[in-house]
Amino acid sequence: MNRTTLSLIAAATALAAVTGFAALSAPDPAAPDGTAGAAARLPVERTSLLCPSPSTSDLAETTYTSFTPVTEGTENGGGAELRAAQRPAPGTDDEQAGEAGEAGENGEDGGDTGNGGDGTSEEPEPVLEPEEPGKPVTGDATGGEAPALVGTADGRFAPGWTVQQTTSVAAGTGRGLQGVTCTAPDTEFWFPGASTDADRTDYVHLTNPDDSAAVVDIELHGKDGVLKTEVGEDITVQPHSTEPVLLSTLTDEKQTDVTVHVVVRSGRVGAAVQALDDELGGDWLAASADPSGSLVLPGIPKDATAVRLVAFAPGDADADLKVRLASPSGLITPAGHETLHVKGGMTAAVDLGDLTRGEAGSLVLTPTDGSVPVVAAVRVLRGKGDAQESAFIPAARPVGDRATSAGNTAEGTTLSVTAPEGTARIKVTTSAGTEGGTPASQTYTVKSGTTRHIDIPVPDGLKGVYALTVEARSDTPVYASRTLAATEDGVPAFTVQPLPDDRGTVAVPEAEQDLSVLD
């Protein structure tokens, strides 16, 4: 057997491992042109998730909730776990970037996680290990030394695996509720809505799950274009480690609204922005959906006291956007803010004020004329005076076949769903609680152009926190978000996470058997 044959076999094996498996079969005789039939959707076999370091505050209380929905077509076996990422040791240089075992040194990486802190490569103990799909499991961390987490799931635990990280900070910069859905590693991220203003302390958290170092560039775009920075390029993130980057150290310019563009030159990372305000609390800013001519930002709370829209056009062309609110009764154009002009390569922002007027809604951005790709996010405020709290809602991807949300509580959890293009039907299923309860499900109709606040069917006998899934029951695209809210010392603390497709299945094309490649 020659080297070419061995290479082909290795490539085929790797492809099957990534996509599940491809059925080697003859073309579908029913196909009109004799080609293979349509791709089948099969459960994924492996999922990776990355959770950023939750807080540096000694007053932080963090809860992690892991959940995998039960997915048809999976086989027995597999597992899921979250482990602490290692923080590079002080003074580590690029020559040591490949030595993962020398990347951590102190109790932040070790301690209770099992990494001895002596520079050895001893693997930390899992922070979370779910026992079975369909039942959420939680873990806790206290104080400002909790590390970033790197997670993997395979087999029946992989399809739709979701981890929610929720942190409560009692006082200080960023006080309030900070929530983020742990993300899959990728090579590009857009974060409109960040800031280098004096009142803000914004970090980009970069986490590398792989065995080799990742090289990352961070670009900042303000109201007049690219912000000058000399230290935003060639940032090395060592293997199995995390790197928080303070935006104000990248540039001397102080701007209220900045779009952060994270580009991975080598490898892949998970990325999220932690946006902390001295007076208005703080939250995590998740990445916007990919640049598109039309965007949906779902789930602005009904009691929002201020909404600020931030948008960025990555190319050279200007974008003119029609701004509308999908309310419970239909699409509404906010008076005085009918359109938003976004210059190419520049960040634009507009205060929409008391946009919702007591009714939950979703922003729908569409081109007024020619379609120009943009990214967008909103910062939402609740409360008044000294008792204000902020959260962020980025442009979201559609729910797709199924979206999954973990870490929901019996009180203070809101599900918002919008269908901007036509009437849609969805099925909402709630899991049992972490400490007991009976799953429940219900089907809902979302009228065209509206946002529906859904009273979630809380599991009977619920104890602990629960997970929910949203499944599309029609071809019309729907967008959803989940809000967690809790009043803390008179402050209406809250956090909002969009619910995109959980990528529980992957399209696997039928492959025509062709042994001639082995000749």
Q: Per residue in 18-42, pLDDT tens?
A: 333 333 333 444 444 544 456 788 9
Instruction: Give the residue from 290, 88, 120 showing the smallest Cα distance to 206.
Output: 88
pLDDT tens digits, one per residue of 337-377: 999 999 999 999 999 988 888 888 999 999 999 899 999 99
Residue 161 Cα distances to 182, 349, 427, angstroms: 10, 35, 19
pLDDT reading at 73 higher than 90? no
142-146, 455-459, 510-514: least confidently modelled range: 510-514
Counting every residue written for the chain, the total comes to 519
pLDDT of residue 517: 57
| Contact yes or no for 178/54 (Cβ under 8 A) | yes
Indicate the range of 106-115, 248-257, 293-302, 491-500 predicted with least confidence: 106-115
**3-class DSSP state of 454:** strand
Q: Which residue has the tokens 């290990």?
A: 129
The pLDDT value recorded for residue 40 is 80
Which one, of 388, 385, 437, lies nearest residue 408 by Cα?
Answer: 437
Q: Check: CB of residue 468 under 8 Å from CB of residue 427.
A: no
- The string over 223-239, giving b where at least 16 C-beta atoms fall within 10 Å of a residue's C-beta and e elsewhere, is eeeebebeebeebbbbb
Of the candidates 402, 493, 403, 413, the one whose C-alpha atom is nearest the C-alpha of residue 458 is: 413
Both tokens assigned to 284: 């995590």
pLDDT for res 243: 96
Rounded to two decimals, what is the model's pTM? 0.85
> SS3 of 354, please?
coil
Amino acid in position 422: G
Nearest residue to 497 (alpha-carbon basis) of 425, 421, 399: 399
Measured between alpha carbons, how far is 183 from 285 in angstroms, rounded to an integer? Answer: 12
Compute the average pLDDT of residues 382-394: 95
Q: What is the CA radius of gyration of the chain?
A: 23
Question: Contact 431/468 with Cβ under 8 angstroms?
Answer: yes
**Quick one: which of 178, 185, 357 has its CA closest to 270?**
185
- Locate 256 and state its tokens: 């209220």
* Averaged pLDDT of the chain: 86
CATH pick for 295-503 out of 3.20.20.100, 2.60.40.1180, 3.30.70.2190, 2.60.290.11: 2.60.290.11
pLDDT value at 13 more than 90: no
Contact 404, 160 (CB under 8 A): yes
Residue ranges of the chain that CATH labels 2.60.290.11: 46-285, 295-503
Residue 95 — very low, low, confident or very high, per pLDDT cuts 50/70/90? very low
Phi-psi region of 111 (alpha: psi -120 to 50; beta: other; left: phi over 0): left
Q: How far is CA 417 from the centre of its chain?
A: 17
Would you put residue 81 in left (φ > 0), alpha (ψ -120 to 50) or beta?
beta
Give 414's strand partners: 483
Average pLDDT over residues 409-424: 96
**pLDDT > 90: what percent of the chain?**
75
φ and ψ at 7, to 5 degrees? -65, -40
Per the CB < 8 A criterion, the answer to whether 109 and 241 are in contact is no
Task: Give yes or no for a contact between 24 and 513, defined as CB atoms under 8 angstroms apart.
Answer: yes
Q: Is the pLDDT of residue 474 over 80?
A: yes
516 confidence band (pLDDT: 50, 70, 90): low
Residue 277 pLDDT exceeds 50 = yes
Q: Give pLDDT tens digits for 98-130.
A: 333 333 333 333 333 333 333 445 667 888 899
Q: Which CATH class is domain 46-285?
A: mainly beta
Residue 227 reports pLDDT greater than 70 = yes
Tokens standing for residue 23: 């059925």
pLDDT of residue 392: 98
Give residue 250's pLDDT.
96
